[in-house]
Chain A
């Protein structure tokens, strides 16, 4: 039998669940209903782990159903035993929480499904076995059926997690929501409806897939271009209509996502196109925000000849300040870049990180506090005159960010195949060869750095305008890491990737408050997982994908299955 083969994956699944419990994720997520009265997100997280380990093991086995079930069994058994163990320790009067702050009574209750410990342990093993068997059964099904099931389950989960947006949106459209959502989760009728609809839709779609692919392949070039133009146009129209559909709260989140798209596009030029890993990108974001604040805030040190601040002299127009801010950022970018761009890739990354931290420390210091506000930050950044756009209104600033984002996306798009873009690509692939071909490496690197700085500062300006006051704590290393994670998840060098990355990494956590404290944990895990399993990201840039898989031939699939030493 293959019981011994499933011992290791089972143990891995169990350890992952224990880990997720011990860092508090299960309990925190459990606060959120997925299906109200039935399942919380914590339990879903747990069961998903079982399902994934069971599925990946079963897929390679010749008895998938049994393998899946036994993987689930071992995983569940491990978790149940650990739960009982902790229960015992606590009953013995040990102060477990003194060390592991997340092992709370609430967590144990979740892990025991609110039952008596022994019964709860049985239920855990049973649930894990059933889920494992179900996941193990998936590979035996036909492709269409499997796809339809996976699709139905994922859409249910997404619909449930999307509750904050969807409920508000439906409410704005004056549609009833009570039948679908209750206390943050789906209702049972809603659940059934979504399952059925998603399953049916996917089934129908899969059955017609062949014919559609055929007709697409025979579509004349002109028609295809019209199609893609039309869909782009529709997408932009959809984006434009969005804030009025979703209402102010979600618009605010969209604005933040847009800000990260902007930052991502900027960093994408540096990291994606020129291949320079910049870990201090937040520096330009900070420069943009602070420069905007210094130009326009009445609290600024910058005074005119009559001793008034610019704001008192009537200069509160962010739009006039904007080009100056960008020019300043570009100059600073070039000045920081010039001395360090000769460095090798990994050194460059650390140096830029150093610059980012230097700028943050300087901003925080008492020394520059008279100019930059120190820890108190700079407040009262005026929103530009609200004739056209009221920047404090989330629905308005969304448009501003959208417009600049589209412009940045268009420029990035046009850059790729331009002379500059090709020089960057050559440089990225082999610096020495590029140099030998007459490309001035330092100059093109500097150009990328300066452009990235300019776009990043734009992000900073809108950030300052949106929030109205800026504090040094908003400009820590985390921002650089967030932006990096955004472009890496989406796909380095890919413009659609930036948008998807920002939506997933910035939008989701904003909506799911439960994610809050685990945000950087998840970002870290994503950086590791993407680099190991799919370095080209979710929506890869074709050329970049080729570069990353250069020379590893058909190997990558096998590499992950390296036998333990």
Chain B
């Protein structure tokens, strides 16, 4: 249409095109966000609504939920590192385990086992949750993802979205649509004071458990044969298979490990939030994905750091940035913080802060 336009007009058009709209929008965006964060924070701090203790407890809260995100995020990161696909249904893998373990917990609470023998009971709950999550993750890989290896990138993503909804509504059909409250475990009640910082026992346990699991995973990937094959397959699938690595089995192992961690994360999650429902996987799933991207997808360390950072941002952020701006009920806007971080990281730092240099290679 403009091909036949007179020169003056086309040169004007050219001049217009030379204005880098995208860059301008990005600059305006970053300036306004920085301004908003700084102004909001100073206003909040100056108003002194929160005491130092409040900040401490928010921080611990963020650390605890961040640990859960970190564990889920490892599932995303491992799968992405090896198949380059976003396993959108990973949040449902997380939900499946803990929702199934709920029924075991109820049975234990009914016969008193849960409080008479809490450590064993929790161990069994963990085992059940992890087993179910592993099962779901492996079945998912076998039925939905394996037929699509080598398909264009968006195809497995669409499949994963389909699988996510399929699993959600499967569990709704199986277990019902209600919110269910996990039975209370008495030894988890109460508080601890560590280095002068007060925290709920559950928060402490969650943080410690996540760190232990993370270390185990790290050693597994770094030291064992399966771990080495995982890294090799992620590097180059074909060459790995030429080197005698069973690619299929390695991929299944990857899904299984991600599932196991998600199952464990599920139990830790109910320590903090106490409820299960069939949709519970969606938001933690997306947030964990955000955490994985934040840390640099493909990197296990990145997933852990990204999870913690996101958890803290989410717990502290709304109160710090928004209270001062006199926004009512700032914690309603928590998801905006998480998604906002996701969007901003992908725009400004698509490699994440750990894997920034690795992005080009992938």
Contacts and interface: CB of A to CB of B under 8 A. Distances in A.
A147 to B, nearest CB: 29
Nearest to A477: B282
Nearest to B152: A548
A351 interface: yes
Interface in A438-483: 442, 477, 481
B346 A101 contact: no
A562 B146 contact: yes
B109 interface: no
A362 interface: yes
A41 to B, nearest CB: 16
Interface residues of A, number: 63
Nearest to B246: A565
A158 interface: no
B118 interface: no
A521 B174 CA distance: 12
Contacts of B175: 99-101
User: Per DSSP, are chain B's interface residues mostly helix, strand or loop, or mixed?
Assistant: helix
B155 interface: yes
B306 to A, nearest CB: 14
Contacts of A99: 103, 175
Interface in A320-379: 335, 338-340, 342-347, 349-351, 353-355, 357-358, 361-362, 364-367
Contacts of B340: 354, 358
A351 B343 contact: yes
Contact of B162 (A355, A357, A526): A526
Nearest to A559: B147
User: Per DSSP, are chain A's interface residues mostly helix, strand or loop, or mixed?
Assistant: helix
A343 B159 contact: no
A98 B350 contact: no
Interface string B336-350: 100110110011001
B86 interface: yes
A520 B333 CA distance: 27
Given A101-B175, A367-B328, A521-B173, A361 B162 contact: no
A518 interface: yes
Contacts of A275: 154
B154 A520 contact: no
A101 B248 CA distance: 36
B214 interface: no
A286 B347 CA distance: 24
A77 to B, nearest CB: 23
Given A24-B173, A355-B339, A277 B157 contact: yes
A484 interface: yes
Contact of B174 (A101, A338, A358, A527): A101
Nearest to B297: A347
B165 A358 contact: no
A560 interface: yes
A349 B286 contact: no
A99 to B, nearest CB: 5
Interface stretch (B22-30, B40-48, B202-210, B307-315): B22-30
A114 interface: no
A414 to B, nearest CB: 13
A361 B103 contact: no
Contacts of A115: none
B173 A524 contact: no
Given A100-B175, A346-B153, A532-B148, A351 B333 contact: no
Q: Which 3 A-B pairs have the closest CB atoms?
A: A527-B162, A23-B173, A524-B166
8 contacts: A100-B175, A366-B328, A366-B329, A524-B167, A527-B159, A527-B165, A531-B158, A562-B146
